[in-house]
Amino acid sequence: MDSMDLEREKGITIQSAATFCQWKGKDINIIDTPGHVDFTIEVERALRVLDGAVLVLCGVGGVQSQTVTVDRQMRRYGVPRVAFINKLDRPGADPARVIEQLRQKLRLNAAAVALPLGLDSSSAELTGIVDVVKGVALRFEGPAGETVVEEEIDPSSKEGKSLEEARLRLVEAVADADDELAELFLEAEDGSSSSCISPEQLAAAIRRATISLKFVPVFAGSAYKNKGVQTLLDGVSAFLPEPADVPNTALDLDQGEKPVSLPCDPEGPLVALAFKLEEGRFGQLTYLRVYSGKLAKGDSVLNVATGKKVKVPRLVRMHSDEMVDATSASAGDIVAVFGVDCSSGDTFIGGNAASRLSLTSMNVPEPVMSLAVSPTTREGSGNFSKALARFQREDPTFRVSTDPDSGQTVISGMGELHLEVRRKKEEEKRERERERERERERAKEKIRKRKIGKKSHKKISKLSKPFKKTFLFQVYVERMKREYNVSVDVGAPRVAYREAITKRAEFDWLHKKQSGGQGQYARVVGYLEPVAEKESENNGPSSSSSSSSSTSASSEANDSSESSSLSSSDLVFSRETVGNAVPPSFIPAVEKGFREAAASGTLAGHPVFGARVALTDGAAHAVDSSELAFKLAATYAFRDAYARAGPQLLEPVMTVDVRVPGEFQGAVVGDVHRRKGTVAGAEADGPDDVALRASVPLSAMFGYSTALRSMTQGKGEFTMEYSHHAPVPNDAAKELIAAKGKK
Residue 720 near residue 562 (C-beta atoms within 8 A) = no
Does residue 541 surpass a pLDDT of 60?
A: no
When pLDDT is averaged across residues 82-93 and rounded to a whole number, the result is 90
Split at pLDDT 50, 70, 90, the class of 409 is confident
Does residue 455 surpass a pLDDT of 50?
A: no
Residue 502, pLDDT score: 92
DSSP 607: P
Give the DSSP letter string of 314-348: EEEEEETTEEEE-SEEETT-EEEEES----TT-EE
Does residue 265 surpass a pLDDT of 60?
A: yes
Residue 317, pLDDT score: 87
Q: Which of 582, 609, 568 is nearest to 508 (CA)?
A: 582
Does residue 7 surpass a pLDDT of 60?
A: no
Give the pLDDT confidence of 703-734 residue by residue, as tens digits: 787 788 888 887 787 877 778 889 988 888 88
Give the pLDDT confidence of 518-540 residue by residue, as tens digits: 789 999 999 999 986 545 444 44
CB within 8 Å of 437: residues ≥ 6 apart:
none
Give the pLDDT confidence of 347-361 residue by residue, as tens digits: 999 878 888 898 887
Residue 31, pLDDT score: 86
Split at pLDDT 50, 70, 90, the class of 618 is very high
Alpha helices in 528-626 (DSSP H): 533-537, 544-547, 587-598
Give the pLDDT confidence of 278-309 residue by residue, as tens digits: 766 666 788 899 999 999 988 899 999 888 89
Beta bridge partners of 506: 527
Under DSSP, is residue 663 helix (H, G, I), strand (E, B) or coil?
Answer: helix
Which of these ranges, 48-62, 118-132, 145-159, has the smallest mean pLDDT? 118-132
Portion of the chain with pLDDT greater than 70, in percent: 78
Residue 474 near residue 614 (C-beta atoms within 8 A) = no
Residue scoring higher pLDDT (539 or 277): 277
Give the DSSP letter string of 349-385: EETT-SS-EE------PPP-EEEEEEESSGGGHHHHH
Give the DSSP letter string of 436-500: HHHHHHHHHHHHHHHHHHHHHHHHHHHHTHHHHHTGGGHHHHHHHHHHH---EEEEPPPP--EEE
Q: What is the Cα–Cα distance from 152 to 132, expressed in whole angstroms?
A: 12
Split at pLDDT 50, 70, 90, the class of 404 is low
Does residue 469 surpass a pLDDT of 60?
A: no
Residue 564, pLDDT score: 31
**Cα angle for residues 482, 486, 491 (degrees, 5° grid):** 110
Residue 513, pLDDT score: 86
Does residue 569 surpass a pLDDT of 50?
A: no
Residue 671 near residue 715 (C-beta atoms within 8 A) = no
Q: Rounded to the nearest 10 degrees, what angle do helices 627-643 and 587-598 cross at?
A: 40
Strands in 128-131's sheet, in edge-to-edge order, are: 114-117, 128-131, 136-141, 147-152
To the nearest whole number, what is the mean pLDDT of the chain?
Answer: 79
Split at pLDDT 50, 70, 90, the class of 344 is confident
Residue scoring higher pLDDT (557 or 154): 154
Residue 219 near residue 82 (C-beta atoms within 8 A) = yes
Handedness of CA 530, 534, 536, 538 (dihedral sign): negative
Split at pLDDT 50, 70, 90, the class of 509 is very high
Give the pLDDT confidence of 43-64 residue by residue, as tens digits: 888 888 889 999 999 898 888 7
Residue 670, pLDDT score: 94
When pLDDT is averaged across residues 113-132 and rounded to a whole number, the result is 81
Amino acid identity of 518? Q
Give, in order, the Cα–Cα distances in Å from 259 to each of 249, 250, 252, 359: 6, 6, 6, 10
Residue 639, pLDDT score: 93
pTM here is 0.61
Residue 435, pLDDT score: 65
Amino acid identity of 257? E
Residue 573 near residue 529 (C-beta atoms within 8 A) = no
Give the pLDDT confidence of 204-238 residue by residue, as tens digits: 999 999 999 999 999 999 988 888 899 999 999 99
Under DSSP, is residue 574 helix (H, G, I), strand (E, B) or coil?
Answer: strand
Q: What is the Cα–Cα distance from 29 to 317, expressed in whole angstroms?
A: 10
Split at pLDDT 50, 70, 90, the class of 678 is very high
Give, in order, the Cα–Cα distances in Å from 196 to each of 20, 172, 180, 370, 583: 38, 13, 14, 61, 104
Ranked by mean pLDDT, the top range of 204-208, 335-339, 544-548 is 204-208
Split at pLDDT 50, 70, 90, the class of 8 is low
Q: What is the Cα–Cα distance from 557 to 571, expressed in whole angstroms?
A: 19
